[in-house]
Amino acid sequence: MPGLLRGVARTAVVAGTATAVSNRVSRRQAGRWAQQEPAAAPAPAAPPPAAAAPAAPTMEEKLDQLKDLATLKDQGVLTEEEFAAQKARILGS
């Protein structure tokens, strides 16, 4: 039993030392990174211009999309419900 306790005590000391060293290294790295951030961070630039709103699809584009959907439905890729939902989405936009 004394040998077992000695082994457990040695393991506890090694684990405690490893934890202390690991924490110290982490704190030191965090300090270095904190010092580097202000120098490396560029000055804030002007916000990017707002993106233009996408153009509404023309009737011809809508018809092409509906033809593609019909083809997918005929091939069995889309169910009748999926086809109806997509058709409503296209015609609603």
**What pLDDT digit, counting tens, does each position of 29-79 carry?**
888 888 876 655 556 666 666 666 667 778 888 889 889 989 999 999 889
pLDDT digits (tens, 9 = 90+) for 4-39: 777 777 777 777 777 877 888 888 888 888 887 665
> b/e map of 42-60 (b: 16 or more CB within 10 Å)?
eeeeeeeeeeeeeeeeeee
> CB neighbours of 82 closer than 8 A, spacing ≥ 6?
73
pLDDT of residue 1: 63
pLDDT of residue 85: 92
